Structure 1
């Protein structure tokens, strides 16, 4: 009996090795979670007000992208398609420790864009009808989440969303470098599905505004085929 106890005691790791092993395992698990499941982001600008405010922290889920695509009304985080990010939106961690935590998903990430999906591949998106509503496949969209409903009237456009692309807009239509603002770019302001990092799931900070995100109800009556 004593021999067995001594044998088990000899095989136990020193406390510093156990601590190091726990750190390595935790880091690997954080990387896996960030790559395939969830990632933390912060809001760097006013472009999604009033839904998301500057410095809000949120979790973005990636699971629904395994076998599907974003839907109209989803709030998506995506890589810069090319020249969309302003100086204030390029804010990143400035020291090695923070950069390391950010890279493994233990700190919210910057350097991405976040907008609401208005049109998906095959959709016909227009601005606007006589009441100032965006039309998607001929159906006017009532958007209660938009900061100022009247702003969109001054941003006329008429686009066909290409397959494999998204048409995205900020909820703060007067202050959002979105698809409309980049309509004249080589890509026509459309975002490739491959550039989407994930779909905004829940706001986790500040505590008094914790809650789910996304509003797809406005698009319930949109037909799948353009009219």
Structure 2
């Protein structure tokens, strides 16, 4: 009996396998291209030029940041922003205070306090203290108080404490929220949301849709490759039977 009669066919003479492989390629293209397009609409890559966010983000690292409005920003978020008082280029810092907060440093244990509540910051370079020199500030309404994770090297809100806004920047200055490190490969991964600020009113933000987007792209690539490989494999198997 020939191999053609051993395989089920549809009304057009196509085998079940070829139909399924075509469907797999079609679904894969939707997932692959859809994931890329959706990601391009929601995310933007940035390069961090300094070591002010070490060890969370090294100097020269590439990050992926979700384009969000300033109203969505919570304490603990790492944001990309631009403020004329700070310079002409986008900067990357961590939000430690929002409008109305009283931010101060340091406790006897070297911790930052927000509205009198000590905040553990495990992401700090050398794991603390929260700052080499003490400071305090009240954050104006609709403003954000920003610090780098490498407190001894970062030029942040502490440098601008004598400004009219007590070192803070408007929420409207925020362009995006960092979700992941994309380069170098050794640091590739999602940026963890710190639990240190969860006990404060407003809590912390949730990660963006980057993880499901990546899964969609990977699943799409697998389906495309698997579906495309079916034809050659089926023909090779058919020749083997012959």
Q: Distance in 1 between matches of 2:120 and 2:178?
A: 21
- Does 1:219 find its partner at 2:197? yes
- SS at the partner of 2:83? coil
The residue that corresponds to 2:238 in the other structure is none
The residue that corresponds to 1:160 in the other structure is 138
How far has the Cα of 1:149 moved from its partner? Answer: 4.4
Q: Distance in 2 between matches of 1:33 and 1:153?
A: 36
The residue that corresponds to 2:155 in the other structure is 177
Taking structure 1 as the reference length, what is the TM-score of the superposition?
A: 0.67
Structure having the higher Rg:
2
Q: Distance in 2 between matches of 1:57 and 1:131?
A: 34
The residue that corresponds to 1:69 in the other structure is 72
CA-atom RMSD in angstroms: 2.5
The residue that corresponds to 2:53 in the other structure is 48
* Equivalent position to 1:80, from 75, 83, 87: 83
When the two structures are aligned, how many residues end up with a matched partner?
168
Change in CA separation of 1:149 and 1:203 when aligned onto 2, cut-off 3 Å: closer
Q: Distance in 1 between matches of 2:131 and 2:77?
A: 22
1:99-178 alignment runs, 5 A limit: 111-178=89-156
**Unaligned stretches of 5+ residues in structure 2:** 1-35, 203-242
Change in CA separation of 1:78 and 1:153 when aligned onto 2, cut-off 3 Å: closer
| Per-residue Cα deviation, 1:87-126 (whole angstroms, up to 9, x for no partner) | xxx7xxxxxxxxxxxxxxxxxxxx2110000011121111
- Do 1:139 and 1:223's aligned partners in 2 also have CA atoms closer than 8 Å? no
Q: Distance in 2 between matches of 1:212 and 1:170?
A: 18
Between Structure 1 and Structure 2, which shows a larger proportion of helix residues? 2
**Unaligned stretches of 5+ residues in structure 1:** 1-28, 91-110
